[in-house]
């Protein structure tokens, strides 16, 4: 075909053009291969990378499980609150947005305008807004205004059982109390919203969102009885005011199974506003550190976190050890001249003139120090210490609240006769109120050391998947006989002895009073306390009242015993009516 081309268009021009064409084809083939590599073999990798780039993850808080009392009353709940934000790039009617937000949220125009006009992807205007206000704002259907719902912990009874329940922080995580111990049951699983956004973070509407629904936390059913708790709190408040005491704690538990029915520690604090110090504290000009210290003090649960010298209530333990070891029999007789010599030390009885001749039961009724010192001496250091250990006094009780304090006790090799004497009537060592209550429980309930607790079960909000909590019980802490004798003696204490102010008409109550001087000695500060239980022959409820630094009369028998009496007068009929704890 070249031959009939007449002009100087040479053959090589044509062939070289063809070569150019094929060179191009070769390069295109390489590029097409490259595309296959990128779009088939590497596709998964780049798709994943691109998805990461395009999706914004927002978490949806899970509703925290509620805390529910023994009667089904809700002690800790969730309230839906709203967070109002604006997305600058989506706002169409700026002035209207500003007007509406000012009106509905009660904010100054200057404040709102600054945020609405700020060029940012999303700007928060106000959080923790009531749902009704959030709904009202949503009803305006304004472009660029976002109303996000959120859960906030809410405590319907404000300060009731504050130190037991505890509260939650900004991310709904438990900070103190049951809220922190049962975090894993209460918290649930947060959900997520995956939103597709453009490079500026603006949501792409047509792409929709991918939602992983949150799983709500489990409701926690606790043994605390709101009625008993509120009555105990009232009593404690009243006592604190009339006795001008620093603080008053009342602990009510079931000695048979360790369930705690009430634990009031006044002053309590408002769970819905846990970061505000009481009005009595001048928080002006306090350093953050100092303020936090005061808050920690306010949140402290005296029944658990603090130790004290139990004083005469501890004679229950000395008596039980004496009876159990055979060192003393109820019929043994003693003589109290008003003091007792231990080595070269003269230890006085609280009755200066002495109790004279008395048997062991009478000695307990009189809370006679020489009697218990004698019993302690008869038991001896080694045996006493081993009972101390056997009763579980050296271990923590294992209560389901955080920060339980341990016992402060002498080392066994440091216990001489004087130390043994003081230990015998409850001085020179420290235990927590809950420790005293649990140890007394095991002595009067037939010798079973129970674990004090609140949590009964955790149940999903739809009633499924319930988890019943079980707690260890240690049998034979004391023999049944010793336990029975102790119940008899302690009933006598209330019926006719130093605890007679704890007697409740129509009920058999056992108990023991105590008046202990706080350290340092001679400060003039006392702790008055009373431990009572009923019915005395088959204890179903055990209460401890501790009055810290009362003014005026400070004897446990005179001020603490009446508190427990009033408590029992109210709750014993109530417990019978509720058919409580019939196992």
34 vs 467, beta carbon nearer another protein: 34
The answer to whether the CB of 456 falls within 8 A of the CB of 222 is yes
CA-to-CA dists, residue 484 to 2, 3, 320, 324, 490, angstroms: 129, 133, 10, 11, 10
Q: Give a three-class secondary structure readout of 318-376.
A: HHHHHHHHCCCCCCCEEEECCEEEECCEEEECCCCCCCEEEEHHHHHHCCCHHHHHHHH
Nearer to another protein, 16 or 211 (CB): 16
Residue 112: CB minimum distance to another protein, A: 25
Determine if 143 is a binding residue for another protein (CB under 8 A).
Answer: no
DSSP state of 556: I
Catalytic residue from among 249, 312, 367, 424:
312
Q: Tell which one of 3, 106, 119, 200 touches another protein (CB under 8 A).
A: 200
325 Cα distance to chain centroid: 39
> Which residues face 458 on adjacent strands?
220, 467
Least Å distance, CB 146 to another protein, is: 19
DSSP 140: H
31/352 with CB nearer another protein:
31
> Least distance from C-beta 87 to another protein, angstroms?
13
Query: Which residue of 194, 196, 286, 295 would you call a contact of another protein, by CB under 8 A?
Result: 196
Tokens representing 481? 């006989």
Distance CA 448, CA 478 (A): 8
Of 194-202, 248-256, 439-447, 537-545, the window that binds another protein (rule: CB under 8 A) is: 194-202
Binding positions for another protein, 7-26, rule CB under 8 A: 7-10, 12-14, 16-21, 24-25
Judge whether 312 counts as a catalytic residue. Answer: yes
Tokens of 183: 């975090």
In the bound complex, what is the minimum distance in angstroms from residue 24's beta carbon to another protein? 5
Choices 4-12, 168-176, 212-220, 338-346 (CB under 8 A): range interacting with another protein: 4-12
- Name which of 51 and 124 has its Cβ closer to another protein: 51
Shortest distance, position 201 Cβ to another protein, whole Å? 9
Asked if 460 and 436 touch (Cβ cutoff 8 Å), the reply is no
- Residue 210: CB minimum distance to another protein, A: 14
Contact between 27 and another protein (CB under 8 A)?
yes
Phi first, then psi: what are they for 516, rounded to 5°?
A: -120, 140
**What does the per-residue mask of binding to another protein show for 329-368, with x meaning CB under 8 A?**
----------------------------------------
- As given in the structure block, the two tokens for residue 70 are 């023994």
Per 3-state DSSP, what percentage of the chain is helix, strand, and coil (rounded to 5)? Answer: 40, 20, 35
Select 38 or 341, whichever has its Cβ closest to another protein.
38
User: Considering the complex, what minimum distance in angstroms separates the CB of residue 85 from another protein?
Assistant: 20
Check: CB of residue 406 under 8 Å from CB of residue 429: no
Integer Cα distance of 422 and 369 in angstroms: 9
CB of 11 to another protein, least distance (A): 9
- Measured from the CB atom, is 13 or 329 closer to another protein? 13
DSSP strand E in 197-309: where? 209-212, 219-222, 247-253, 260-266
**What are phi and psi for residue 11, nearest 5 degrees?**
-55, -45
Which parts of 33-62 interact with another protein (CB under 8 A)?
Answer: 34-36, 38-40, 42-43, 45-47, 49-51, 53-54
Interacting positions 151-190 with another protein (CB under 8 A) = none
Report the residue number, 34 or 480, with the smaller CB distance to another protein: 34
- Residue 205 is a binding residue for another protein (CB under 8 A): no
Comparing CA positions, the residue from 488, 498, 497, 578 lying closest to residue 535 is: 488
Among positions 57, 93, 198, 210, the unique one binding another protein when judged by CB under 8 A: 198
Q: With CB under 8 A as the rule, give the number of residues binding another protein.
A: 46
The overall longest dimension of the chain from CA atoms, in Å, is 152
| Region of 28-36, 334-342, 344-352, 559-567 interacting with another protein (CB under 8 A) | 28-36
Q: Which of 495, 497, 528, 530 is nearest to 509 (CA)?
A: 495
Rank residues 39 and 408 by Cβ distance to another protein and give the closer one. 39
Token pair of 304 as six digits: 């658990």
**Binders of another protein among 84-123, rule CB under 8 A?**
89
Q: Which stretch binds another protein (CB under 8 A): 32-40, 166-174, 420-428, 512-520?
A: 32-40
In sequence order, the 6+-apart residues with CB closer than 8 A to the CB of 524 are none
Residues 514-533 that bind another protein (CB under 8 A): none
Residues in the chain: 583
Helices 226-242 and 561-577, packing angle to 10 deg: 160
Q: What is the DSSP letter of 447?
A: S
Measured from the CB of residue 307, what is the shortest distance to another protein in angstroms?
A: 59
Of the residues 141, 170, 171, 199, which one makes contact with another protein according to CB under 8 A: 199
Q: Smallest gap, in angstroms, from Cβ of residue 59 to another protein? A: 23
Residue 438 CB partners (closer than 8 Å, separation 6+)? 253, 258, 392, 397, 449, 450, 451, 452
Going from the C-alpha of 313 to that of each of 158, 406, 488, the distances in angstroms are 33, 18, 16
Which residues carry out catalysis? 312
Q: Which residues bind another protein (CB under 8 A)?
A: 1, 4-5, 7-10, 12-14, 16-21, 24-25, 27-28, 30-32, 34-36, 38-40, 42-43, 45-47, 49-51, 53-54, 89, 196, 198-200, 204, 207
């Amino acid at each position: 075909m070249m031959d009939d081309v007449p002009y100087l268009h040479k053959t090589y021009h044509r062939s070289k053009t063809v070569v150019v064409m094929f060179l191009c084809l070769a390069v295109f083939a390489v590029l097409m291969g490259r595309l296959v590599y990128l779009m088939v073999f590497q596709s998964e990798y780049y798709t994943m990378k691109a998805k990461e780039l395009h999706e914004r993850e927002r978490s949806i808080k899970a509703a925290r499980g509620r805390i529910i009392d023994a009667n089904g009353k809700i002690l800790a709940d969730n309230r839906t609150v709203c967070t109002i934000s604006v997305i600058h790039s989506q706002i169409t009617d700026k002035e209207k947005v500003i007007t509406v937000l000012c009106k509905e949220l009660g904010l100054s125009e200057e404040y709102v305008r600054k945020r609405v006009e700020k060029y940012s992807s999303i700007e928060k205007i106000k959080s923790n807004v009531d749902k009704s206000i959030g709904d009202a704002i949503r009803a305006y259907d304004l472009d660029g205004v976002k109303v996000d719902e959120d859960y906030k912990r809410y405590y319907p009874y404000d300060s009731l059982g504050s130190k037991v329940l505890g509260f939650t922080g900004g991310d709904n995580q438990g900070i103190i109390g049951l809220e922190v111990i049962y975090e894993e049951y209460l918290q649930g699983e947060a959900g997520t919203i995956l939103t597709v956004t453009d490079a500026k973070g603006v949501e792409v509407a047509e792409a929709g969102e991918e939602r992983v629904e949150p799983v709500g936390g489990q409701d926690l059913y606790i043994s605390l009885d709101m009625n008993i708790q509120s009555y105990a709190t009232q009593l404690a408040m009243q006592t604190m005011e009339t006795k001008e005491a620093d603080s008053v704690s009342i602990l009510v538990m079931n000695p048979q199974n360790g369930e705690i029915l009430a634990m009031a520690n006044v002053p309590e604090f408002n769970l819905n506003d846990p970061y505000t110090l009481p009005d009595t504290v001048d928080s002006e000009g306090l350093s953050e550190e100092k303020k936090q210290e005061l808050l920690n003090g306010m949140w402290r649960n005296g029944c658990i976190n603090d130790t004290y010298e139990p004083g005469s209530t501890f004679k229950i333990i000395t008596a039980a050890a004496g009876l159990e070891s055979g060192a003393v029999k109820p019929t043994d007789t003693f003589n109290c001249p008003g003091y007792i010599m231990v080595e070269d030390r003269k230890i006085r009885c609280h009755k200066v003139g002495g109790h004279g001749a008395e048997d062991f039961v009478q000695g307990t009724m009189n809370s006679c120090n020489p009697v218990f010192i004698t019993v302690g001496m008869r038991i001896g250091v080694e045996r006493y210490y081993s009972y101390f250990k056997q009763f579980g006094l050296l271990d923590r009780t294992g209560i389901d609240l955080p920060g339980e304090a341990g016992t402060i006790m002498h080392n066994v090799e440091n216990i001489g006769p004087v130390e043994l004497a003081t230990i015998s009537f409850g001085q020179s060592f420290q235990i927590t109120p809950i420790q005293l209550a649990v140890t007394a429980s095991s002595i009067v309930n037939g010798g079973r050391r129970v674990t004090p607790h609140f949590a009964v079960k955790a149940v999903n909000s739809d009633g499924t998947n319930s988890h019943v909590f079980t707690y260890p019980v240690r049998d034979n802490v004391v023999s049944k006989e010793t336990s029975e004798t102790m119940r008899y003696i302690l009933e006598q204490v209330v019926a006719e002895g130093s605890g007679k102010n704890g007697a409740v008409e129509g009920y058999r109550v056992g108990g023991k009073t105590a008046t202990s001087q706080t350290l340092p000695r001679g400060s003039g500060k006392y702790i008055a306390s009373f431990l009572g239980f009923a019915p005395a022959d088959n204890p179903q409820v055990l209460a401890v009242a501790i009055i810290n630094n009362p003014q005026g009369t400070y004897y446990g028998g005179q001020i603490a015993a009446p508190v427990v009496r009033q408590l029992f007068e109210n709750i014993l009929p109530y417990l019978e009516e509720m058919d409580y704890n019939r196992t």
